[in-house]
A and B are shown apart, each in its own frame.
Chain A
Amino acid sequence: MSTHLHQHSSFKQYFLNLFHAIYTTVKGMYITFSYVWGVKVVSIEYPEVREVLPARARMRLFNDAENCISCTQCAMACPVDCIYIASEKMPEGAEIKKTTSGSPIRLLLTQFTIDTALCCYCGLCTTVCPTECLTHSHDYEFAQYTIDAMKYDYLAPDVRAWRDRIVKA
């Protein structure tokens, strides 16, 4: 590059600097201008066009309550303590169901709530889950008006219904 910064300014130097400024600016403008034609648009027009997320993308958590064995490992692994689990002994004589992976469900899950507003999406809870019922789904549009609405009770019927539209198995 022929551009240099000159400490001692003289009459000649002044015009030389001016020339370099214009020359390099024109060069930069040329680079910018070359993007006007022939370069395809890189941005996505979001609400109309949606990006396909990678398979591992970590979005809203979802717990498949049918498969949960109330082991509370996820709650222990959570660094921000946003998972609330409560369970009690199975009532006498109730048949012991099994999860899809074959482990018996010995405890009755009475509460499984995740405060999504607290969640830091680190994914540590999903890695410790023995039955793989707690997963990150691909839902990312879940803004709410109140912070309380971010608490999801995964035993509630409306939240359970998410299961049908979960992308990731």
Chain B
Amino acid sequence: MQSRWDIGEPEKPTINEETEQLKSELLTLNMGPQHPATHGVLRIEIKTDSEIVAHAIPHLGYLHRCMEKHCENLDYRGVIPFFDRLDYLASMSQEHTYVMAVEKMLGTEVPRRAELIRIIVLEFQRIASHLMAFGTYALDLGAFSPFLYAFQDREEILRFFEELSGARLLYNYIWVGGVWNDLTDDQVEKMKSFLDRFEENTKTYHELVSMNQIFIQRTANVGVMSLQDCFDYGATGPVLRGAGYKWDLRKQAPYSLYSEFDFDVQVGVGEIGQVGDCWNRFIVRMREVGESIKILRQAFDKLEPGSIMGKVPKIIKLPKGEIYMKTECPRGELGVHLVSEDGGKTPYRLKVKSPCFTHTSMLPRVAPGQMIADFVATVGSIDIVLGEVDR
């Protein structure tokens, strides 16, 4: 058989023509919804050019539970368990935001002890949430043991919450007018001794992860979200503070009793890497844990006996009106827009503005040009919880 090469000399194509003949296209890669690095059920459609991400499109809705609509059929107390399930790693902060909105509409006075207990549980929740962020972030980047250290301390905090409220994650503890159960002196002593131990442990975490050269190489100068981007997209929380902007609602617009407390707002200063990168976002969280310890110590000193429940009618009926309440949750500003009918037992409309949704929408902005491994680091560093994104 005669091969085609035998028919004379084939014309040698020029390099330009050859490259025109070769077809190249972007490879579509689906990260998630079952990918361990996407922290839940987030699906990110990545268009890759070899190992470089060209586009990243987050697809939401895998955890959509129709919560906002469902709340319109619930009485004002029954909404609280649903708020627990928004950000299931920081349930206390979520229910606090909603409860504050209802209290403001009702005009309820919350007793001082109840407010202090709230601050204690909120700050413990912040520590627990940041520990989770720290552990899973190290896990994303391939370090397994920090995850176990973080869970060991988080477990103790969850134990406090279980003793206090009866549940480990979905508490239904902060009620309209106060809190459900009182904090005993025994528990306060246990919490204090835990804080002493925990403060030592945080130093270990810094040595183990934050200052590890391999960790720094993986995160510094990666996934830079500039301050302008943060403003454009409306980023809040550690993402905004990691970009170097001093904005913390506990300080800028104090709610509850936060104006009485002495603490600093930690911002990324870029001593390693540059401001707004993954490392700075990470270190803001780690340093916020230290600030939370400060607040907790002050709260324990301020604690004095008293009532834990204000005067609230048996059936809550709100006057006609609307309110927007926002608080500083571990992941950023959570906003609750509550519209009520005159004398209605149920909310007319309840809109939740979640920080994680905002931060997820920033991913397509930072992704182009990154390596896939760096993209995983970026997704981990914004610390999203899909329960809050999809609602």
Q: Residues on A close to B: CB < 8 A?
A: 1, 3-5, 17, 20-21, 23-25, 27-28, 31-32, 42, 53-58, 77-79, 120-124, 127, 136
B-chain residues with CB within 8 Å of residue A21 when the two chains form the complex: 213-214, 217
Give Cα A124–Cα B214 distance, bound, in whole angstroms: 49
Say yes or no: A28-B208 contact (C-beta < 8 A), given A42-B152, A79-B78, A121-B170.
yes
Give Cα A57–Cα B75 distance, bound, in whole angstroms: 24
A56–B181 contact, CB under 8 A?
yes
Find A79's partner among B82, B209, B211, B214 (CB 8 Å cutoff).
Answer: B82
B-chain residues with CB within 8 Å of residue A42 when the two chains form the complex: 152, 155
Q: Is B74 an interface residue (CB 8 A)?
A: yes
Give Cα A54–Cα B74 distance, bound, in whole angstroms: 30
B-chain residues with CB within 8 Å of residue A120 when the two chains form the complex: 81, 170
A57–B162 contact, CB under 8 A?
yes
B273–A5 contact, CB under 8 A?
yes
Find B213's partner among A24, A31, A53, A55 (CB 8 Å cutoff).
Answer: A24
Minimum Cβ distance to chain B for residue A131 (Å): 17
A5–B220 contact, CB under 8 A?
yes
Give Cα A127–Cα B180 distance, bound, in whole angstroms: 10
Q: Is B212 an interface residue (CB 8 A)?
A: yes
B165–A56 contact, CB under 8 A?
yes
A5–B221 contact, CB under 8 A?
yes
Return the CB mask of B178-199 against A: 1 if under 8 Å, else 0.
0011000000000000000000
Give Cα A25–Cα B204 distance, bound, in whole angstroms: 13
Give Cα A48–Cα B216 distance, bound, in whole angstroms: 43
A124–B207 contact, CB under 8 A?
no
Interface residues of B in 49-103 (CB under 8 A from A): 74-75, 77-82, 84
Interface residues of B in 197-232 (CB under 8 A from A): 204, 207-209, 211-214, 216-217, 220-221
Q: Can you list 9 A-B contacts with CB-CB less than 8 angstroms, sorted by A residue number?
A: A3-B213, A5-B221, A27-B207, A31-B208, A53-B162, A56-B166, A57-B162, A77-B75, A79-B82
Minimum Cβ distance to chain A for residue B92 (Å): 14
Say yes or no: A122-B152 contact (C-beta < 8 A), given A5-B216, A5-B273, A23-B213.
no
B-chain residues with CB within 8 Å of residue A77 when the two chains form the complex: 75, 77-78
Minimum Cβ distance to chain B for residue A81 (Å): 10
Find A24's partner among B170, B181, B211 (CB 8 Å cutoff).
Answer: B211
Say yes or no: A17-B213 contact (C-beta < 8 A), given A77-B78, A121-B167, A122-B172.
yes
Give Cα A58–Cα B171 distance, bound, in whole angstroms: 10
Q: Is B260 an interface residue (CB 8 A)?
A: no
B163–A54 contact, CB under 8 A?
yes
Q: A54-B159, A56-B164, A56-B181 are in contact. List 14 more A-B contacts (CB 8 A).
A: A3-B213, A4-B272, A5-B221, A24-B211, A24-B212, A25-B214, A31-B204, A54-B166, A56-B165, A57-B167, A77-B78, A122-B80, A124-B81, A124-B172
B-chain residues with CB within 8 Å of residue A78 when the two chains form the complex: 78
Minimum Cβ distance to chain B for residue A2 (Å): 9
Residue of B nearest to A53 (CB): B162
